[in-house]
């Protein structure tokens, strides 16, 4: 029988104090709903439907065709939200897992354990619970003398005795799909908040159907993210879990409490990560690399034995044995060849270099295709923007570019060229040429005295 997933992601998340829909808010630079969808994709779920509402285009743009969509136009509670999937699922047989879109720490393993337990016990409804030391704000699990679940009592409706119960409803349910919409249609509107609560499904089913529970022992995995304090806590939990796993796999971390590694980052063994380093997105770090300190990499591919320190790398690739930094900036698909040197205050944008090329300090290389064995002197600039359009620079192999050189694109510099310092080059340079593009120096004898006034002599008195 197939398994389905409904992800409830229609809420505004007013406590987040952001214009983004809550489920799109980033955790370690990745929207929290993406964690859930990725784990669904890796699990035994056959189809996934996201219920969207507030700012739904944001969620739909994030997830694309990875899920199907149902729209909740009016925010009328979780029961109403789940009911919006009826046109997509009402004729299906199988099991539906209902998840909350603001629960990014739920894992593939937990999803599969819930489904396994639901099928093994032949439950019609399985309510996923956990035990919190401080259950305030969560619905409490009410059981009879035999331990069978009887109801879920919302915190605001609970008696003082019920509020002392530590077992809470996580908001996750596995339910026989043939019964789901029949039960959802029976839920009545809450008299206080005028909403339809999915929690009421327990009392509707407990007498006539097999209703059980699945308990998650570590409550961190089912924490909801409702405000920016929760975001910080979720990030800390994720960061600690990721760093621990990497260190056990052979990644050396210096002061790991200062290091942030994203959920999708791949790091090989024998890599050293120094303090205050952040690596996120789909970054890949190969064996022997040394990253940091004070470095940020997002969607970066770092090859073997690369050293990066005090630098920023976004959407770019660095090949073997190259050194980056300090204070370098690679962005917009920079592709740096092997054995390069990218030094202090060098910015490279949408450019590629061959092997053994050096730009050691104070250079900007933009929209450039550069060969091997090239040396950029201090202050070199590929001038790629004419005020209206961007243009490309081509530089061949074994080119020497003197200090404070401007290459005005579009321009082509062939192999074995030498460009004199201080040149502003506006024409292509043929192979093997020396280019000098600067004004002649003029010395005017005894002229400086008219420009520089002599300083008064110090007579020894205090000023």
407-419 residues labelled b (16+ CB within 10 A) or e (exposed) = bbbebbbbbebeb
Q: Which of 36, 39, 27, 44 is nearest to 9 (CA)?
A: 36
30: which strand partners?
Answer: 27
The contacts found for 177-184 with CB under 8 angstroms, 24 or more apart, are 177/4, 177/89, 177/92, 177/93, 177/94, 177/95, 177/96, 178/93, 179/124, 179/125, 179/205, 179/209, 180/82, 180/89, 180/96, 181/83, 181/86, 181/89, 181/90, 184/79, 184/82, 184/83, 184/86
Show the tokens assigned to 197.
Answer: 């609560």
Using a 10 angstrom Cβ sphere, with 0-12 exposed, 13-18 middle and 19 or more buried, the burial of residue 453 is exposed
Tally Cβ neighbours within 10 Å of residue 290: 18
Is 361 a known active-site residue? yes
Q: At what angle do helices 32-41 and 56-63 cross, to 10 degrees?
A: 40
Show the tokens assigned to 116.
Answer: 């396994």
Q: Quick one: CA dihedral 192, 198, 201, 203, positive or negative?
A: negative
- State how far the alpha carbon of 293 is from the alpha carbons of 73, 254, 259, in Å: 48, 9, 9
Do 297 and 278 touch, CB atoms closer than 8 A? yes
Phi, psi of 347 (to 5 degrees): -115, 130
The contacts found for 182-190 with CB under 8 angstroms, 24 or more apart, are 184/79, 184/82, 184/83, 184/86, 185/83, 187/79, 189/76, 190/77
- State how far the alpha carbon of 226 is from the alpha carbons of 34, 58, 241, 331, 403, in Å: 16, 18, 21, 33, 54
CA dihedral 111, 115, 117, 120 (to 10 degrees): -160
| Catalytic entry in 80, 319, 361, 391 | 361
What are the residue numbers of the active site?
361
């Amino acid at each position: 029988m197939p398994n389905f997933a409904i992800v409830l992601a229609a809420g505004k998340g007013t406590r987040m104090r952001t214009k983004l829909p809550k489920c799109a808010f980033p955790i370690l630079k990745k929207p929290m709903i993406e964690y859930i969808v990725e784990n669904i994709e890796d699990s035994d779920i056959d189809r996934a439907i996201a219920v969207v509402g507030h700012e739904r285009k944001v969620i739909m743009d994030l997830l694309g065709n990875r899920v199907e969509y149902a729209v909740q136009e009016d925010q009328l509670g979780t029961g109403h939200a789940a009911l919006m999937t009826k046109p997509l699922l009402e004729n299906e047989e199988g099991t539906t897992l209902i998840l909350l879109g603001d629960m990014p720490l739920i894992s593939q393993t937990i999803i599969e354990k819930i489904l396994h337990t639901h099928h093994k016990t032949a439950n019609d409804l399985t309510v996923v619970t956990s035990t919190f030391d401080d259950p305030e704000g969560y619905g409490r699990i009410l059981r009879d003398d035999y331990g069978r679940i009887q109801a879920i009592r919302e915190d605001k409706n609970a008696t003082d005795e019920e509020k002392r119960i530590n077992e809470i409803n996580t908001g996750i349910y596995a339910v026989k799909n043939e019964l789901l919409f029949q039960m959802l249609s029976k839920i009545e509107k809450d008299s206080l908040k005028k909403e339809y609560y999915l929690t009421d499904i327990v009392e509707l089913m407990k007498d006539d159907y097999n209703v059980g529970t699945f308990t998650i022992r570590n409550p961190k995995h089912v924490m909801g993210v409702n405000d920016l304090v929760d975001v910080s806590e979720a990030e800390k939990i994720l960061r600690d879990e990721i760093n621990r796993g990497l260190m056990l796999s052979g990644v050396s971390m210096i002061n790991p409490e200062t290091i942030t590694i994203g959920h999708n980052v791949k790091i090989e063994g024998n890599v050293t990560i120094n303090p205050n380093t952040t690596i996120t997105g789909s970054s890949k770090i190969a064996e022997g690399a040394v990253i940091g300190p004070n470095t940020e990499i997002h969607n970066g591919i770092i090859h073997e034995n690369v050293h990066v320190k005090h630098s920023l790398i976004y959407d770019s690739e660095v090949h073997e044995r190259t050194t980056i930094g300090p204070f370098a900036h690679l962005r917009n698909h920079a592709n740096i060849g092997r054995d390069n040197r990218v030094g202090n205050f060098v910015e490279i944008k949408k450019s590629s270099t061959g092997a053994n090329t050096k730009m050691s300090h104070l250079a900007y290389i933009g929209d450039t295709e550069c060969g091997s064995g090239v040396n950029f002197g201090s202050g070199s600039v590929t001038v790629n923007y004419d005020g209206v359009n961007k243009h490309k620079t081509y530089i061949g192999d074994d080119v020497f570019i003197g200090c404070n050189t401007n290459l005005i694109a579009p321009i082509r510099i062939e192999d074995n060229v030498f460009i004199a310092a201080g040149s502003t080059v506006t024409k292509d340079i043929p192979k093997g040429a020396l280019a000098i593009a600067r004004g002649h120096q003029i010395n005017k004898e005894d002229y400086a005295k008219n420009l520089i006034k002599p300083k008064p002599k110090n007579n020894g008195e205090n000023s």
